[in-house]
Amino acid sequence: MSKRATLFTERNAGLGKALKTLGLFGLAIVIFWWFGRGLDWVEVRNSISHADWRLLTLAVLFISLTYLLRAYRWRALLRPLARAELRDLFIATVTGFSAFFLLGRAGEVVRPALLPLRDRRVRASAAFISIGLERLCDFLAIVLLFSLNLLWFSRPSGSVAAFPQLRKLGLALFIAELIGLATMIWLARRAPLIIQWLETRTETWRSARLLQLVISLLKDLSRAFAVLAKPSELVIAVFWTGLVWLAIVVGNLLMIRSCGIPFGIRETIFVLGWALVGSLVPTPGGGAGAFHAAATAGLVFLGIAREPAAAVAIVIHLVDFAPAIVFAFYYIARGDVSVTRLGGLRGRKVLPHAVKEIGTKKLAAESF
């Protein structure tokens, strides 16, 4: 490709990225407008200003604990692929969550990309694979919590929810999770046979080089997914994931109660499930707008007025990310994290590098 064509391609890619960013900002503004229309913002502000700061302080401590627990879990999930220091894992975790809040989905790449920069023993491919496994653990955990919660949920007074239908949804989600988990465990245990079968085809298939890259990736995946194939590793993953989500639920319960809403664990999990669905919308600010609208809808569904519900949604969103931002700026100020290097962590650069890394002979020769 000529130099002019390369520059043209890069320019188009940059323009496309800029348009995508503008589009997401526009989507966030539209959702915020829809979320805020008809709200009495004076009452929302009063609800926030009258929040119990003692409960909020405890909530901040629990949310801060979740980042440490995530670092411990990440180390356990990463162990089949590489050894990493807990301090580096914690710094990468809080910096990654801060980037997610400030940049939206584009910031998700920071966490797995930053760790190899701090610890050269960790490959980029290993970091990305372990983060993918972590996201899978979180997804399974929240679906399990939400589905079981729906099965035993009692209808609060003033709720507009049709709970018989919700219980059917909970049962369907629970059965689907069991089937999905059983399938993944089956595939994890048979990964060596699949890899062996593919290796016998490398000499006959035309795209042997591509197949070798796929095999190398599958070998890394099989090591990472050893947590599903080995009962002892599975217990460790379940243990840390359980602690992470226990701290998250308790932290969110404290935030809801700080705003004068006497909810319990079940109501908190119900609202948390709604909020996490909203956070999937890739708007900047950690799903800003969509997160608030979904959390508010969950609270209104349980009979809470819109203004107090909106106040709770705003408080939850801020407290969920504020500790990570404080920690990240602390480590940046200390020089543990370089802002210049962070600026270079873009998905279009890091991901291809990780894929390329998988197939190199040098990395294939590394011992774990």
Per-residue pLDDT band at 203 (split at 50, 70, 90): low
- To the question of pTM greater than 0.85 for the whole model, the response is no
Q: What would the two tokens of residue 357 be?
A: 């890394």
At residue 355, the pLDDT reads 42
Pick the closest to residue 106 from 323, 324, 320, 345 (CA basis): 345
Tally: H helices and E strands in the chain:
18, 0
At residue 363, the pLDDT reads 35
Q: Up-side HSE of residue 194: CA atoms within 13 Å toward CB?
A: 15
The domain segmentation of the chain, as residue ranges, is: 3-364
Rounded percentage of the chain residues whose pLDDT exceeds 70: 67
Q: Please state which of the ranges 103-107, 129-133, 286-290 shows the lowest mean pLDDT.
A: 103-107
359: pLDDT strictly greater than 50: no
At residue 110, the pLDDT reads 86
At residue 128, the pLDDT reads 86
DSSP string, 165-231: HHHHHHHHHHHHHHHHHHHHHHHHHTHHHHHHHHHTTTTTSTTHHHHHHHHHHHHHHHHHTHHHHSH
| pLDDT, greater one: 140 or 214 | 140
| pLDDT, greater one: 103 or 92 | 92
From CA 59, how far away is CA 40, in angstroms rounded?
A: 26
177: pLDDT strictly greater than 90: no
Q: Tell me how many degrees the CA angle 32-266-100 measures, rounded to the nearest 5.
A: 40
At residue 302, the pLDDT reads 86
Per-residue pLDDT band at 365 (split at 50, 70, 90): very low
278: pLDDT strictly greater than 80: no
- Mean pLDDT, to the nearest integer, of 17-24? 65
At residue 167, the pLDDT reads 73
Residue-wise over 141-158: b if at least 16 C-beta within 10 A, else e?
bbbbbbbbbbeebeebee
- Mean pLDDT, to the nearest integer, of 315-331? 91
55 CB-contact burial (10 Å; exposed 0-12 / middle 13-18 / buried 19+): middle
SS3 120: coil
At residue 99, the pLDDT reads 85
The string of pLDDT tens digits covering residues 112-168 is 888 988 888 888 888 888 888 888 888 888 888 888 888 877 666 555 555 567 777
Give whichever of 21-30, 285-294, 351-360 has the largest mean pLDDT: 285-294
